[in-house]
Amino acid sequence: MSTASRPSEAASNLVLVGPMGAGKSSIGRSLADRFGLRLADVDHAIESRAGASVNRIFESEGEAGFRERERVALAELLSGDGLVLATGGGAVLDAGNRALLRQRGFVVHLHASVEQQLRRLAHDRTRPLLARGDREQVLHDLARVREPLYSQVAHLRFDTNGHSEAEAAERLAQLLEIHWPIAAARSQRRVPS
């Protein structure tokens, strides 16, 4: 289910990477609430700054234009502390982004199989990369390129397959309390309800 592939670091930001449909935004929201951190979603930040949807940015500027906006947003968001950051699935494509993510955050790779992604994204028509051709083949192609990069950047890998969002968030929170010193410290300060 999970593996800690690298030693824990005391970075004060929690960064979630992984493919679309892995649960980065929803699990991130639960983790932010649990640990008293601020949630930020890179795609939402890009849309807010651009005044346009990710789809519209892809249409007008192409993927290269979007990736440049993504680099800027990541640098701005990670300049602070106390954040749970849900990245876009392709944020790891840029070597500079990967270095920044590891430098400024404790990075968790949320893994989801292509089959799980297809189920979770069955009715989602907002993903520009899924708008072209066979969705299953696109997801397999993306995984082939991106999975090694997720592994390279991650301090911890967590498999979301077979878990509800709430269940995945709870299990991941427990692992973070073991592997990420910030989570352990923030959990000790929580007052029981």
Indicate the annotated binding residues for Mg(2+). 25
Range list of β-strands (E), the chain? 2-4, 14-17, 38-41, 83-86, 106-111, 156-159
One-letter amino acid identity for 67? R
Quote the Cα angle for 27-183-18, to 5°. 35
Nearest to 87 by CA among 157, 27, 25: 25
What's the gap between Cα 153 and its chain centre? Answer: 12
From the annotation, which residues make up the binding site for substrate? 43, 67, 89, 146
* Length in residues, the chain: 193
Token pair listed for 81:
């502390």
From the annotation, which residues make up the binding site? 21-26, 43, 67, 89, 127, 146
Nearest to 176 by CA among 32, 23, 69, 21: 32
Burial 144-161 (b: 16+ CB within 10 A, else e): eebeebbeebbbbbbbbe
Residue 42 · residue 88 · CB < 8 Å = yes
Residue 97 · residue 104 · CB < 8 Å = no
